[in-house]
């Protein structure tokens, strides 16, 4: 990596994966996987382009657009588009890398990719959003397709933006095809897709609770960060399952419940409307029942909680915040966001996990616990191919099964490859990383993307 510019987020994601592979018996059992690691960590293709559009005042505006087509061994490139001023190649490479292994954990035929632009949707009119989405798709459309690369939403890209981009693609290519997921229900979208990441996260944590013998969500206190798509549906599912949600946040600050206060489904719905209008949490009419802390994340302020679900953005739990959660007796941490925890925070959680007994903490990495969103995107692609729509119940049941499989796969792989003391909870971060990695690199070897001597890779 020496002759390329520093890519801090990508290097962090790469090191996180490699450290868990190194700490396991994977390379001892399969030394040729070191060759595979070199190949799999370089994207197959990166597309960079300029996006020129006109604002409402008639001024020319220009942004940087990207698509990182990371890996297509398991299926068409698949992963979201992010519109946020912080977007750069390092962030998109980290997201595409994570996405590749996450998609493998869903068990569906999807490769990994990620894209976006450094465009800030905040404060833009509907017509400016439409013009930007059309201009973005004008440049991207020649590189994607239902069997090539199927983007979806991410931060700053919701149903409205997907609609504008889908329409632009259809007009430019004269083709109606499942080229994007997260579409409107009347034109090819899947039921449960908007809910899928948040719901899937909660289904995953239910599996953790069952395995650890800690009951269910009923009666548990849950701290959530973020107030966007993932946070909203995670909160609604927690409440439906009998838990109380005691925090939410956005990029400006956090709301913390005091005393017996907690968020109701009606309040979450109002917050969804506030966020759709791209307003801050301070515009929420019920905020006086909560303590608002400007510029803060919830973790050190929320007090005793059983479950913490980071659902805003990368690196949103630091070492100190992780320690505060541990000190307050949190039992389960699961990422709704991608790379929600810093490596130092993961080290804190993984250290405490090795404590036997009721004080153990169990951490789930986003590539496993938030794979429900892309999983239902995969189900949307399947429905589009069949020109059929499945019922809400069918999709929800499939989502539950995919989350159970992702959990079981990570758990069993950790037991197989990572030595642990008796009574210790298996490392879901190591197990999920290894399971995703092995699946992708086996497919790549079968397809001649890399080769080497050593034991046969299949069935390793
Ligand atoms: P949204 O844009 O709907 O919401 C993002 C939330 O995070 C908002 O509350 C936003 O605050 C907050 N936020 C964004 N940037 C920052 C920041 N730098 N510091 C503090 N808060 C911030 O996005 P999603 O809910 O879709 O995505 C949230 C996370 O989940 C991301 O990491 C995404 O990659 C991941 N994810 C999403 C999936 C999906 O299906 N949507 C699938 C898998 C993972 P504000 O409103 O003030 O901007």
Sign of CA dihedral 361, 307, 249, 194: positive
pTM: 0.94
> How is residue 314 annotated by DSSP?
T
| pLDDT tens-digit map of 131-190 | 999 999 999 999 999 999 999 999 999 999 999 999 999 999 999 999 999 999 999 999
Q: Catalytic residue, from 78, 93, 102, 114: name it.
A: 114
269 φψ region: left (φ > 0), alpha (ψ -120 to 50), beta (else): alpha
Q: Which residues of 132-147 are buried (b: 16+ CB within 10 A; e: fewer)?
A: bbbbbbbbbbeebbbe
**What mean pLDDT is predicted for residues 48-57?**
98
User: What atom of ligand 1 comes closest to residue 157's alpha carbon?
Assistant: 2
- The answer to whether the CB of 156 is under 6 A from ligand 1 is yes
Mean pLDDT is lowest, of 31-35, 264-268, 299-303, 355-359, for: 355-359
Q: Is 304 a catalytic residue?
A: no
Q: Rounded to an integer, what distance in angstroms lies between the CA atom of residue 451 and that of residue 445?
A: 6
Say if residues 189 and 160 touch (Cβ distance below 8 Å). no
- Is the confidence at residue 1, as pLDDT, over 60? no
> How is residue 332 annotated by DSSP?
E
User: In sequence order, which ranges of 241-342 are alpha helices (DSSP H)?
Assistant: 265-276, 319-327
| pLDDT tens-digit map of 209-243 | 999 999 999 999 999 999 999 999 999 999 999 99
Q: Which tokens is 405 given?
A: 């499989």
- Start-end of CATH 3.40.50.10860 domains in the chain: 43-178
| pLDDT tens-digit map of 325-354 | 999 999 999 999 999 999 999 999 999 998
CATH architecture of 43-178: 3-Layer(aba) Sandwich (3.40)
User: What atom of ligand 1 comes closest to residue 336's alpha carbon?
Assistant: 30
- The answer to whether the CB of 178 is under 6 A from ligand 1 is no
* Choice from 250, 321, 371 to test ligand 1 binding pocket (greatest atom count within 8 A of CB): 250
| pLDDT tens-digit map of 246-286 | 999 999 999 999 988 999 999 999 999 999 998 999 999 99
Q: What is the CATH number of domain 196-369?
A: 3.40.50.720
Q: Rounded to an integer, what distance in angstroms lies between the CA atom of residue 99 and that of residue 57?
A: 38
Q: Which tokens is 155 given?
A: 């931060």
- The answer to whether the CB of 154 is under 6 A from ligand 1 is yes
Q: Whose CA is nearest to atom 2 of ligand 1?
A: 155
Q: Rounded to an integer, what distance in angstroms lies between the CA atom of residue 334 and that of residue 395?
A: 22
- Start-end of CATH 3.40.50.720 domains in the chain: 196-369
> How is residue 51 annotated by DSSP?
E
User: Secondary structure of 195-207 in the HEC alphabet?
Assistant: CHHHHHHHHHHHH
Nearest CA-CA partner of 398 in 199, 155, 224, 145: 199
Report DSSP letters for 207-253, one per residue: HHHHHHT---STT-EEEE---SHHHHHHHHHHHHTT-EEEEEEETTE
Using DSSP's 3-state secondary structure scheme, residue 144 falls into: coil
| pLDDT tens-digit map of 192-206 | 999 999 999 999 999
Q: Whose CA is nearest to atom 44 of ligand 1?
A: 337
Beta bridge partners of 114: 68
**Residues in Cβ contact with 369 at an 8 Å cutoff, skipping those fewer than 6 apart:** 200, 201, 204, 205, 334, 335, 336, 406
> How is residue 285 annotated by DSSP?
G
């Amino acid at each position: 990596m020496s002759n390329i510019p520093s890519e801090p987020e990508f290097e962090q994601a790469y090191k996180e994966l490699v450290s868990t592979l190194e700490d396991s018996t994977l390379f001892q059992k399969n030394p040729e996987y070191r060759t595979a690691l070199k190949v799999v960590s370089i994207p197959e293709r990166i597309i960079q382009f300029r996006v020129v559009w006109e604002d409402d005042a008639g001024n020319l505006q220009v942004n940087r657009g990207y698509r990182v087509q990371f890996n297509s061994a398991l299926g068409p490139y698949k992963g979201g588009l992010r519109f946020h001023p912080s977007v750069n190649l390092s962030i998109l490479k980290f997201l595409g890398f994570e996405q590749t292994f996450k998609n493998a954990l869903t068990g569906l035929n999807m490769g990994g990719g990620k894209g976006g632009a450094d465009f800030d949707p905040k404060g833009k009119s509907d017509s400016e959003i439409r013009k930007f989405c059309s201009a973005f798709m004008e440049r991207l459309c020649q590189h994607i397709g239902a069997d090539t690369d199927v983007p979806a939403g991410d931060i700053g890209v919701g149903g409205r933006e997907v609609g504008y981009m889908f329409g632009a693609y259809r007009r430019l290519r004269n083709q109606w095809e499942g080229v994007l997921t997260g579409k409107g229900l009347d034109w090819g979208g899947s039921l449960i897709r908007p809910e899928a990441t948040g719901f899937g996260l909660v289904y995953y944590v239910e599996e953790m609770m069952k395995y650890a013998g800690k009951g269910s969500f009923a009666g548990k206190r849950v701290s959530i960060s973020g107030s966007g798509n993932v946070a909203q549906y995670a909160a609604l599912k927690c409440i439906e399952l009998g838990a109380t949600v005691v925090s939410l946040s956005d990029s400006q600050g956090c709301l913390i419940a005091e005393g017996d206060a907690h968020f109701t489904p009606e309040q979450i719905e109002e917050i969804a409307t506030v966020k759709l209008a791209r307003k801050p949490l301070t515009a929420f009419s019920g905020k006086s029942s909560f303590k608002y802390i400007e510029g803060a994340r919830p973790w050190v302020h929320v007090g005793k909680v059983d479950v913490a679900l980071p659902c805003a953005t990368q690196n949103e739990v630091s070492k100190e915040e992780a320690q505060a959660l541990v000190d307050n007796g949190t039992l389960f941490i699961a990422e709704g966001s991608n790379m929600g925890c810093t490596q130092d925070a993961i080290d804190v959680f993984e250290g405490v996990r090795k404590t036997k007994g009721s004080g153990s903490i169990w951490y789930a990495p986003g590539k496993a616990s938030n794979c429900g969103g892309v999983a239902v995107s995969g189900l949307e692609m399947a429905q589009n191919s069949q020109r059929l729509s499945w019922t809400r119940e069918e999709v929800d049941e499939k989502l539950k099964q995919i989350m159970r499989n992702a959990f079981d796969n990570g758990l069993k792989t950790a037991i197989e490859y990572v030595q642990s003391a008796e009574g210790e909870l298996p490392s879901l971060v190591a197990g999920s990383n290894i399971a995703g990695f092995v699946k992708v690199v086996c497919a790549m070897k079968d397809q001649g993307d890399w080769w080497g001597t050593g034991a046969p890779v299949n069935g390793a």
